[in-house]
């Protein structure tokens, strides 16, 4: 059968094309009926894994280790969640809490409130090259203050716990809430960063480009710092979510998890 000729002349090929079109329509209808699967980080997971934390125990879980080389951080859990408080020094000095980061793909999400009052207050998700080696690197995905009224979303690499190294990704200024959801994903060797105001609609501060550190991290957690010696930085975390897969980023209407 000459398929092209039959279609042009209205022969058997036309019937075949119509059947293919009907099959395609059926597939689209079935896809539209597929339940929308959204990963809502605000909801505690049905099956809690050792890397999740609601920060509601009134005391830091023993799975976490405090990282405070400068001895200027305090850690508390209260009705708001985890509160990391850091007395400033001239020059950054990172404090935080960490636990081992499993190998493979992952998604980490936190709800972060930056209560800092200065343009140097930084908090967010942190990855450590080796927290036991103070000369090793750190990766920070943060919502930080660029001035008293402005929050920016950025990823930075620190050469060590006191030295800011590489600006991996930074946004334009956001004169918005001090409360954000932050999400860091790893897929293979690539890292992706997103932020959200409600935990459902995610935005990328770097147009979905990769935001890769120059090292392979061994530990994960959250952090606090300020480089103003005259202020105290307060960072609140409502929870810490970890999944051993990349939940991906897809437009909500396409029906894939976000």
C-alpha 178, offset from chain centre: 16
Q: Give the max Cα distance, the chain.
A: 84
240 by DSSP, 3-state: which? strand
Beta bridge partners of 234: 85
Query: Domain 65-248 is of which CATH architecture?
Result: Sandwich (2.60)
Buried b (16+ CB within 10 A) or exposed e, 216-252: ebbbbbbbbbbbbeebbbbbbbbbbbbbeebbebeee
What would the pLDDT profile of 180-205 be if each residue is shown by its tens digit? Answer: 899 999 999 999 999 888 888 888 88
- Give the pLDDT of residue 176: 61
Q: Is the dihedral of CA 151, 157, 158, 160 positive or negative?
A: positive
58-95 per-position pLDDT tens digit: 899 999 999 999 999 999 998 889 999 998 777 789 99
Question: Hey, where are the domains in the chain?
Answer: 3-33, 65-248
SS3 state of residue 89: coil
How many CB atoms are closer than 10 A to CB 19?
10
- 213's CB contacts (< 8 A; 6+ apart) are 127, 137, 139, 157, 168, 191
Report the SS3 class of residue 116.
coil
């Amino acid at each position: 059968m000459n398929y092209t000729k039959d279609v042009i002349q209205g022969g058997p090929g036309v019937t075949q094309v119509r059947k293919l079109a009907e099959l395609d329509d059926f597939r689209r209808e079935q896809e539209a009926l597929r339940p929308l699967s959204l990963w809502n980080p605000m909801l505690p997971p049905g099956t809690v894994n050792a890397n999740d934390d609601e920060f509601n125990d009134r005391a830091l879980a023993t799975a976490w280790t405090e990282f405070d080389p400068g001895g200027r951080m305090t850690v508390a859990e209260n009705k708001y969640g985890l509160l990391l408080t850091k007395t400033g020094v001239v020059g950054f000095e990172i404090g935080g809490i960490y636990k081992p980061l499993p190998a493979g793909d992952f998604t980490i999400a936190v709800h972060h409130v930056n209560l800092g009052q200065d343009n140097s207050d930084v908090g967010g998700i942190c990855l450590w090259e080796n927290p036991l080696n103070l000369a090793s690197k750190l990766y920070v995905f943060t919502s930080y203050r660029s001035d008293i009224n402005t929050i920016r979303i950025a990823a930075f690499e620190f050469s060590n716990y006191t030295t800011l190294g590489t600006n991996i990704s930074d946004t334009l200024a956001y004169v918005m809430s001090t409360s954000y959801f932050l999400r860091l994903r790893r897929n293979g060797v690539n890292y992706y960063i997103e932020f959200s105001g409600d935990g459902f609609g995610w935005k990328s501060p770097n147009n979905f480009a990769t935001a890769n550190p120059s090292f392979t991290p061994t530990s994960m957690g959250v952090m606090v710092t300020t480089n103003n010696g005259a202020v105290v930085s307060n960072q609140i975390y409502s929870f810490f979510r970890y999944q051993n897969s990349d939940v991906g980023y897809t437009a909500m209407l396409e029906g894939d998890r976000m």
